[in-house]
Structure 1
Amino acid sequence: MRAIFSLFVMILALASTPRAGAHEFWLSPEQYQVAPGAPIRADIRVGQNFKGAAYSYVPVNVARFDIVTGGVITPVTARMGDRPALSMAMPGAGLIVIVHETTDTMLTYAEWQKFADFVTHKALPDALDRHAARGLPRTGFRESYRRFAKSLIAVGDGAGQDHAVGLETEIVALANPYTDALPAGLPIQALYQGAPRQGAQIEVFEKAPDGAVHTIFLTTAADGRANVPVKPGHEYLLDAVVLRDTGNDDPKAGPVWRSLWASLTFKMPE
């Protein structure tokens, strides 16, 4: 009975995971380079500044969870409560892309400043004018949000290439951090509904081997591309957010905003 109660509490906690401010969601592999046949283990994390709690696998919160390699999609097999959420072995060598999409979650803004801080931090300042133009209240309105996370792992030689995997919004690595020379940084492209996102803010969290985290902000060009400066032995989390109207201007009828969060993690070899 105690175990059932604990699992119920965990599900409730996950279903109501806070996204106040700018809490990122990402996939956190235990190792970014593994031998063929070795287990690939990765946590689901929510937090800030590349630091956050690891969450267990709860099917009701997952819309998609796959491993993509060489164009082949393998659904992740996991059981309720698994932590890490991913623990699978891949027999062949190559670059694998872990793909995770959450189900929708709702957030109610009780304070205007939290919404203002969020859209300012994510470089979405026109949202404040759009909010006012729609005649929306400054408190008591809701936002629905969904997360789209990817992570790049090298199995064996790590040869291969990331590509668009059909997420509503995603960040695609246009070079392989494990095999390619990157003197100008890692080229990436931000996509929304399959099209390049011009002027999108990419927040880059860089974690050094000693755990120190440094953050920079990039803006994508007309083709949705940007170059991410990288250093050997450093781990990276890239984050980009889309915010759109829901078409509903009645706060009592449902959410008035919808945000879509894309993340990508990888680690440069030593």
Structure 2
Amino acid sequence: MLTRLLSVVISASLLSGGAGAHEFWIDPERWQVESGAPLVVQLRNGEKFEGSPQVYFPNRIARFDMVTGGAATPYTGRMGDVPALEAKAPDAGLLVLVHETQPTTLTYRDWDKFVRFVEHKGHAAIAAEHVARGLPQEGFAESYSRFAKALVAVGDGAGTDAPTGMETEFVALANPYTDDVMGGMPVQLLYRGSPRADAQVEVFDRSAEGTVTVSFLTTDAEGRTLVPIARGHEYLLDSVVLRPLHDPDGPVWESLWAAMTFSVP
């Protein structure tokens, strides 16, 4: 009981504080499972594909779905669950796990930290825009929300990904479990249902030995990019929309984080 309580406290701190600049992703225990077998999934928050497990908090979740064949089944866990999802794998096919968080607020007390964040996420011009808006350089707030997907093969893993209606999301244009993606994994980045062109995509590539490499891609006019692939590796894609808010008593920026995870057999 003490261990569970400590885990809850740690995760609550991560979700409400400085973890706003970290990636958030869906991390299945196994990427390929048989129908009816245990499906165990962690939600993680961290950096460079290494992160702490997050506790299942219903009030922090806007959406948590298991999507197969285009049909979404909402997942409901228990308060305090770690892992956040434990269920029986559905019928054979490509399983798309979808997780959307409620907005969380982060307060910046260090201007340099904000500048490093916007530059790292491909929004270097935001710092100058912040100053031009006459905003303070400390004590200001950002609201952030997470929009994560993961691709899991159940049985043969056959099927396709598709838009799920999240405000921003990656859509896999190939199936890494059934298609030949050695020439690259094609993905499309959407924002409000439309292609997000000329956007930075950060790619975290983890080898079977656990070595993580980081690279950056840019989407084309159709919001598409091709992710270099190696067999036996796991991938996390991350891209951030950063837009202004104009409530004088609330956050002055809003970030929307799209993430997708998958493995290549």
**TM-score bucket of the superposed structures, by smaller chain:** over 0.9
Residues 1-270 of structure 1 aligned to structure 2 (within 5 Å): 9=9, 12-13=12-13, 15-19=15-19, 22-248=21-247, 250=248, 253-269=249-265
Deviations 1:122-176 (A, max 9, x none): 1101101211111111111110000011000000000000111010000111000
Contact 1:15 1:61 survives alignment (8 Å): no
Question: What number of residue pairs does the alignment pair up?
Answer: 265
Q: CA deviation at 1:77?
A: 2.5
Give ranges in structure 2 of 5+ residues lacking alignment. none
Q: CA deviation at 1:16?
A: 1.5
Q: In structure 2, what residue type is equivalent to 1:19?
A: A
**Overall identity of the aligned pairs, in %:** 54
Name the CA distance, whole Å, in 2 between partners of 1:208 and 1:10: 28
Q: TM-score, normalised by structure 1?
A: 0.94
Q: CA deviation at 1:11?
A: 6.7
Deviations 1:188-234 (A, max 9, x none): 00100001001110000000001000011000000000000011000
Change (3 A) 1:3 1:260: same
Q: In structure 1, what residue type is equivalent to 2:202?
A: E
RMSD over equivalenced CA pairs, Å: 1.7
Q: In structure 2, what residue type is equivalent to 1:175?
A: A
Change (3 A) 1:156 1:18: same
Give ranges in structure 1 of 5+ residues lacking alignment. none
Q: TM-score, normalised by structure 2?
A: 0.95
Deviates more, 1:54-63 or 1:44-53: 54-63
Q: In structure 2, what residue type is equivalent to 1:165?
A: T
Change (3 A) 1:138 1:91: closer
After superposing on structure 2, the runs of 4+ consecutive aligned residues of structure 1 that deviate more than 3 Å are: 1-12
